A and B are shown apart, each in its own frame.
Chain A
Amino acid sequence: MRVSISHLNPYLALFRIRMIAGLQYRAAAWAGAATQFFWGFMLLSIYLAFYRSGGGEPPMPWPQLASYIWLQQAFLALFGLWWQDNELLSSITNGHVAYELCRPCDLYAFWSTRLLAMRLSNVALRCLPILTVTFFLPATYRLSPPAGVAGLLLFLLSITLAALLNVAVSMFVYILTFITLSPVGSRLLIGVASEFMMGSIIPIPLMPVWIQRLLNFFPFRYISDLPLRLWSGNIYGREALFQIMVQLAWLAGLCVLGHVCFRRVCKRVVVQGG
């Protein structure tokens, strides 16, 4: 028998096993990457038509928009709140969660780790091919390099926080599932609303200004819109730092709230049957 690998921290070990489970779907990843290419091209063609026919100053320079769309496609798995861990959701509804509840771990942290690993394993398989190819496309469709070292660093910092923020928001889907015992409602509601509010349907810079202002008061913008605009330098300097602070605040606030809610639903959990 194989002697087990080094003695891991439980959260790292969970991260590892979820990565292993996620990385085995290579065919799905290739298919997904192809879909996202197609989707990106389609969106860009539509916006290109608008940009060419429309008069006046566009709300966002074309190269920035192209980068926005391609990064959005490349990191799709980090953003989409409609995509959740089905195994975990069904474990809540069918009661397999009973096992999870008798582990000597902080379950909130444990599940967050699991969700993060699920998203990272998916992104790991898709983002590199998409980024590489789109970097060498004809000029109009090309993904531009980041706005200097500062832009790259801000992007990296912000997308890391975005991934964590996504997980913190996702946890509420699981918390709600404990109460409603069906993941459909909460996932649909959070999924659809967030798609619009994080700029996955229409990039936020292209929206009317009053909607943009409104969206600043929700966490969703900071999951996707912010890092994408930091890359291209659409947001920069002090404004960038300020927005990252807001992102951080959302993350901390939702983690604390999620933790409290999670503890409460665990107390009143009913594992039925069997």
Chain B
Amino acid sequence: MIELTHITKTFKVARRGKGAGAAVKAMFHREYKLVHALDDVSFHIGRGEIVGYIGPNGAGKSTSVKVMSGILVPESGACEIMGYTPWKQRREYVRHIGVVFGQRTQLWWDVPVQDSYDLLQAIYKIPNERFRLTCEMLTETLGLADFLQTPLRQLSLGQRMRAEIAGSLLHEPEILFLDEPTIGLDAVSKLAVRQFIKQLNAERQVTVILTTHDMHDIEALTDRILLIGKGKILHDGSMAGVKHRFDTYRTLTLTFTPHTEPVPLEHAELCSWSAERAVYRLDTAKTTVSQAITALGGQLNILDMTSENPPVEEIIAGLYREHNI
């Protein structure tokens, strides 16, 4: 479905030193720095996959999305999506894809949302009946009914994002590129958007490529993650695999009947201790939760306990650290 081979994209960025002297100098002689936004990027994505595209700021995520949506032309490498080369057969190709740029807007600022949709209907030449059904489906699942007749400028951010996502799906694309679709959304809207993406993928086998900094998006939606850093693909694998690799500790929180003396535990670090509560960090390579409880149970009268996995943010941070990006 999507096949990128050895894609390279370099940007020329003007740079100059600080201060007035450097500014004057820059008027006559400009120095450029080459930024390798994408450096020999290759991957394959099959139909119906949801792929999370992650990496720190400036890693090349958005650049890849723009190459794949035919906006940017790479210097070298090949990209074949559904049999098209995006930047060469742009007009035929873009009919089949939907794009949401979380920080940009495609709807008209001054006119009601529905008018923007009508324009999109005409642009994509969607037959009336088809358009009506899609509109109804989107209105219902994304909860747009209340503000379809309202000009975009009067909508809240959450409403606007839902309207934007619906706008990108009116022509029933087979591939959906989501570039930070949940940026700035509140919890309810985020959940609604996630739920919707899942449903779309399950019911219509839409292939979804998602970039985000919200690791909960990744956790909730994707089976596979592509990690990009400094323009290179550093990791391509399942979310479960990554989790497993960085799942090196458990946080064990205990409450117990008062016990002033701290109890040490083998293969674990005592993070905090008060008379009734303690937090341990277990090294799962050397011990298990069960062993720890057995050991502690002999000395403490445990009232309650919780055991937590490392938060997904930390796993990803670990991944970034490992690759030095």
Residues of chain B contacted by A103 (CB below 8 angstroms): 94, 123
Smallest CB–CB gap between B119 and chain A, Å?
Answer: 5
* In-complex Cβ contact of B104 among A10, A12, A96, A106 (8 A): A96
With an 8 A cutoff between CB atoms, is A13 at the interface?
Answer: yes
Does the CB pair A95–B116 fall under 8 Å?
Answer: no
Does the CB pair B71–A102 fall under 8 Å?
Answer: yes
**Count of chain A residues with Cβ under 8 Å from any Cβ of B?**
36
Smallest CB–CB gap between B313 and chain A, Å?
Answer: 21
Nearest-CB residue, chain B, relative to A2: B114
Nearest-CB residue, chain B, relative to A272: B11
Residues of chain A contacted by B40 (CB below 8 angstroms): none
Does the CB pair A17–B105 fall under 8 Å?
Answer: no
- CA gap between A10 and B126 in the complex, in Å: 11
With an 8 A cutoff between CB atoms, is A56 at the interface?
Answer: no
Nearest-CB residue, chain A, relative to B131: A4
Task: Kindly name the residue among A99, A103, A105, A106 whose own CB sees the greatest number of chain B CB atoms within 10 A.
Answer: A99
Nearest-CB residue, chain A, relative to B136: A1
- CA gap between A106 and B92 in the complex, in Å: 11
- Chain B contact patch, size range: 35 or more
Does the CB pair B127–A7 fall under 8 Å?
Answer: yes
Smallest CB–CB gap between B98 and chain A, Å?
Answer: 9
Does the CB pair A104–B124 fall under 8 Å?
Answer: yes
Q: Could you tell me which residues of chain A, from 1 to 41, have a CB within 8 Å of some CB in chain B? A: 1-5, 7-10, 12-14, 16-17, 20-21, 24
With an 8 A cutoff between CB atoms, is B139 at the interface?
Answer: yes
* In-complex Cβ contact of A8 among B66, B105, B114, B122 (8 A): B122
Nearest 5 A/B pairs, CB to CB: A13-B122, A99-B106, A274-B103, A8-B122, A10-B123
- CA gap between A99 and B109 in the complex, in Å: 14
Does the CB pair A3–B132 fall under 8 Å?
Answer: yes
Does the CB pair B148–A1 fall under 8 Å?
Answer: yes
- CA gap between A100 and B105 in the complex, in Å: 10
Does the CB pair B119–A101 fall under 8 Å?
Answer: no
Supply 6 A–B pairs (Cβ within 8 Å), ascending by A: A3-B132, A10-B119, A13-B121, A17-B119, A102-B99, A270-B72
Nearest-CB residue, chain A, relative to B129: A3
Does the CB pair B91–A99 fall under 8 Å?
Answer: no
* In-complex Cβ contact of A271 among B72, B92, B110, B180 (8 A): B72
Residues of chain B contacted by A3 (CB below 8 angstroms): 128, 132
Residues of chain A contacted by B72 (CB below 8 angstroms): 269-271
Chain B 163-189, CB within 8 Å of chain A: the 1/0 string? 000000000000000011000000000
- CA gap between A1 and B106 in the complex, in Å: 22
Does the CB pair B121–A270 fall under 8 Å?
Answer: no
Q: Could you tell me which residues of chain B, from 274 to 311, have a CB within 8 Å of some CB in chain A? A: none
Nearest-CB residue, chain A, relative to B179: A274
Q: Can you name 19 extra interface pairs (CB under 8 A) apart from A1-B148, A103-B123, A271-B71?
A: A1-B139, A3-B132, A4-B118, A9-B122, A13-B118, A13-B119, A13-B123, A17-B108, A20-B111, A21-B108, A24-B110, A95-B104, A99-B99, A101-B71, A102-B99, A105-B123, A270-B72, A271-B66, A274-B101
